[in-house]
Chains A and B, each alone.
Chain A
Amino acid sequence: MRFRFHGRGGQGIKTAGRILGKAAFFEGLFAQDFAIYGAERRGAPITAFVRLSDAPILERGHIFNPSYVLVAAPSLLFDPTVKTLEGMVEGAVLFVNSSREIPILQPKKVHMIFRDVTGLALKYVGKDILSAAMGAVACKLSGTISLQSTVDSVGEELADLGLEPDMIEKNIQLAKECYLCVESVGLSGLSYKPSHKVVEVQYLGEKGIPDLLSVGNTAFRKTGSWRVFTPIIDRNLCTACGICYVYCPESCVSLDEQGYPAVDYDNCKGCLVCAIECPRKAIKTGRESAWS
């Protein structure tokens, strides 16, 4: 079984994978877990991988043919650079952290499950940290890992991270509810036939030099999808003092001719420095509504 987790830095996706790996290990399975986090930071896309088997595992590295894909941040489904659905074939399982069904363009019969585990995390832990939640969901989906092994794994992995006992207990409660909120789905006849034709690389001369001439182009990345909480400016309270504009680290606040601010929601990461700094408390914050 191959699991691929997609989430954002700070959501605990690496730990979710480790919870699954350790729980499988407790069940006596062969397991392998690792995560990829390169340049990206808190809020940026992160991928974690877990392989489970009853025999030694010879595969390593990226999983291109997942049996299960678990998406902690649903906005990633629409990020073309992340490729959340890559390699999913008929019979594979897609879990998305969302309270409502999200229409996903995919021709194959992928089994889709939608649950709002962020809501559960906020209820039990008070933060959008999903290591225990996503780990427990994956354990249950596998169909081979008991609740006991799941709980043991959550306890051990979070203790390794230095969490306080009361916080671990809250996460165990969260894990239990998440384990119960999904049903295991049997995998049927997964067959993956990638098109991996080998080609010859052409010499591109000066164009093959890693210089960037297209400067100031990161706005295409649309980091607005990183946001969990959204700043909302109340024009009735705003005095156009410009402080939110000055302190936005990301140049995401612009001022109109009268000096009133507007937020670039395509790119605002939701750090909320503007909300804290606003002297009139004219910037409210709300949970990103699209997925809750």
Chain B
Amino acid sequence: MSVTKYRTIKDVPREEFLVPGTPLCAGCGALLVMRLFHKALGGDVVWVNAAGCITLMATFPYTPLRSSWFYTAMPSAPAGAQGIRDALDILIKKGKLDPSENLKVVVITGDGAASDIGLQSTSGAIHRGLDFFYLCVDNEAYGNTGFQASSSSPIGSGTATTKPTPLYPMGNVLPKKDLFEIWRSHKPPYVATISPSHVVDALRKVEKALNFKGPKLFLALCPCPTGWGMEPSESVKLARLAVEAGIWPLKEAVYGEVTHTYIPLKRRPVEDYLKAQRRFAHLFKPVKNEGIIAEIQRQVDEYWSKVER
């Protein structure tokens, strides 16, 4: 496991499993993550999906995927993965299916399905030790329905259901649920955060996860030009800024043991990240809300003070 195929960006596999022409927004961070993730996984994959933006990449009679796809329902994609994994296993065991027909089962959901309506199903699948991958493309709100708040929306963000008003000047008042820690508390073989900006880091993590049997879970912060309020061209830039500001730590946990895979030497101020997005515009206009910005910075600093110690 010590030798990696991925040393530089030149090592990104050339095979494409996602063809162009999806109906997703231009500059979709989730689509980029999925494309890179698939490259690292290789072929022979079945994606099991919960309702979200990504659901709409395949609408009858089109799909951009060269691999298999199964849309299930919003709360239960991991359960859908369980059914497919178990069916393949028993059919192979009974000799009804040739082992060469086996597939890697990969759940893909947004943050709403992952942290809210589908958390029970995810917990069940991890608890049972289901041999599957889980990729959560986290754009920090219910993007597919018009960007309402999810429990993954960060504090201070404006969404369609947490609009800043004179009564609620900071927009969303609730903290972002720590899905990484919720997953990790089940002690699965592998949990990681990834970013579309840090490609080699992401590929190495998938490469490492391929060595484990059991649940392998990935949480990707995916910039959403439409919901975040920024130009599609800035998608990767924003993802990088989130990492450099320390808002999105890149880390992994093997059987619960956490390692940070990238520690920004000098963190960018969170303000740089916040002011680049319309969803945080109310923190800067009409008057700058120093208090909230400082609180967000304090939370990030506190996180890293524990890491660096």
Contact = CB atoms under 8 A, between A and B. Distances in A.
Interface in B189-213: 196, 199
Contact of B66 (A216, A221, A255): A216
Interface residues of B, number: 48
Contacts of A219: 19-21, 64
B169 to A, nearest CB: 15
B154 interface: no
Interface string A248-272: 1111100100000000101111111
A271 B63 contact: no
Nearest to B12: A246
Interface stretch (A20-28, A35-43, A51-59, A97-105): A35-43
A167 interface: no
B248 to A, nearest CB: 17
Given A42-B225, A217-B19, A249-B32, A226 B237 contact: no
Interface string B51-95: 001001111111111111100000000000000000000000000
A201 interface: no
B233 A249 contact: no
Contacts of B231: 272
Contacts of A270: 26
A273 B233 contact: yes
B56 A271 contact: no
A273 B28 CA distance: 10
B309 interface: no
Nearest to B163: A162
A184 interface: no
A41 B23 CA distance: 6
Contact of A223 (B21, B67, B68): B21
A212 interface: yes
B172 interface: no
A247 interface: yes
Contact of A222 (B21, B53, B67): B21
A238 to B, nearest CB: 15
B280 to A, nearest CB: 15
Interface string B1-42: 000000001101010111111111111110110011000000
Given A40-B56, A216-B19, A223-B21, 6 more contacts: A41-B28, A42-B225, A44-B23, A216-B64, A217-B19, A242-B9
Interface of B: 9-10, 12, 14, 16-29, 31-32, 35-36, 53, 56-69, 196, 199, 225-226, 231-237
Interface of A: 9-10, 39-44, 210, 212, 214-223, 226, 241-243, 245-252, 255, 264, 266-273, 275-277
29 contacts: A39-B56, A212-B58, A214-B61, A215-B69, A216-B63, A216-B64, A216-B65, A217-B19, A218-B23, A218-B64, A219-B20, A219-B21, A223-B20, A223-B22, A223-B23, A226-B26, A249-B27, A249-B28, A251-B16, A252-B20, A264-B20, A268-B20, A269-B27, A271-B232, A272-B232, A273-B235, A276-B233, A276-B237, A277-B236
